[in-house]
Structure 1
Amino acid sequence: MANKKYAVITGGSSGLGFSLAKELALRGYVPIIISRSAERVNKAVEQLKAQGIEALGFTGDISSVSEMRAVSGKVKDLCGTIDFLALNAGVVHVGLLEDCTDMSVLTEDINIDLTGTIISTRMFLPLLASGARVLMISSAFGIIGGAGYASYCAAKAGIVNFAGSMRRELLCKNISVYVACPADIDTPQYAYERETSPEWLKSVSGRKSLLSPDTAAKRILKKATGKRHLIIINPEIKLLQILTKILPERLVLLVGDLAIPKPKA
């Protein structure tokens, strides 16, 4: 096993995480899938094996310190070190902040998306080999505020800055850190998001482009190399980024307000 390269993928049993696992396997890594559901982990591992891909899987809640400590311990015992850590697991709840009456809905986005990313990073840090890469999956809403996504935007923005901190902390260890901010991807989570969206968000046409998970994974991993850090894979998000650098703030806000869905009075 010493000659093998291992890649841990949180939330790797479906959607973008599963596509990242497949793409990392094509790049020579043995994917290690982590998810809360044992059934989904087993199914994902079997699907990979059916394609001739060696894969491993473990069950764990990324927001639980004890569970992630146990999972990282198992990975250490089995693999020794890892060469790639993809922090992809996350959830999203949609709705206006003033309409939210269940505070657990607000805290779940923070606990899983942000705190879970921090916990997972901490538990796998000792396993990262020199030259390893860490990839954190944020969102376009990590750099752009979106109505109806208050706690999700806060969590994803936190990931962007957490990734920046870890990049500087790990420079001396020859470990690269990347953070991807993709727009909409055609995943089970996106389907749930649209199903539970308020009518004002469902009826607008501001969010048209939808990448397949495989396409998104390929684009992200193609950029997760060298001295890059922030990964943007959608032209419209890249354009908005450029506009923020060359236009006055009021014009940038106007462009964003026209492009991003918002409720009416």
Structure 2
Amino acid sequence: MEPYQFYTPLPPATADRDTVKVWFFQRKLQVSALCSSHDPSSGFSLDEMTKLKAKLTFYESRVGLNEMTPAVAITQFQQWLDAYGDYGAWQNYLNDQTRKDTAERERQRVEAEARKIRDAENAARSTATGICAQYRGGLLSSRASETPVGRVVCGLAVIGSPGAAYQGFSGQDMHQYPTTPLITALVSGITLSEKWPPESCAEVDALKRWLNGPGAAINSVEKIPGETFVFHARVWHPGGKWGGKETSPGWKDRGACVYCQRWIKRIGARSV
């Protein structure tokens, strides 16, 4: 499928032959499509639009066959428009093309933003699975317990920053940086409902690493650009009962815990 062609103004008389030929060719295609879409509600004369199409085809052919110089083709076409030889067809074409171009630019903008988010989601997942590949035998919590408790690992990626990804591990004994007043403020007010403190989560570790790198100047929760963050976590399951079924040891995807759900939502980040 050919890429969308936005309207471009008539080239200068000094433009080369290929540039001028392509310009007439692209305008011809767009005017032809407009002719094909004509109906009683279109608001333009099909006869006049068809004449415009023929004019564009004529100059495209003459320039392409080297039967007319680009400068002459451009000058004559502009003179024809200035003399109102098109009876308004050119302006109707421009109005229609402007609407199409505006819609296409918005579509491309939305798609580009969506692509950035997808890329960040993939980077977060890839970072988490990369940790799992390093610890194929699993990671267990250091907390004393009758039953083994698997650690959570996390990938943090930044939307719009390809290659920027940060690891995270649950358990402050594996955190790369100590808990700061900023982190304490971030998790303050969260009801303690798990068997671990909110400061010990893998997502917190990943955020700490970002705060000690690109985010070193951040000094308040409100300044954390959470809307650009994507987290993805995985947990080591030691084996045994899982969701009511007997399972083998292995790494499994998991959503953010109730603690992280709270502060991730607070800063406008994503967890996938």
**TM-score band, normalised by the shorter chain?**
under 0.3
Higher relative contact order (CA 8 A, sep 6+): 1
TM-score normalised according to structure 2 size: 0.23
TM-score normalised according to structure 1 size: 0.23
User: Which structure has the bigger radius of gyration?
Assistant: 2
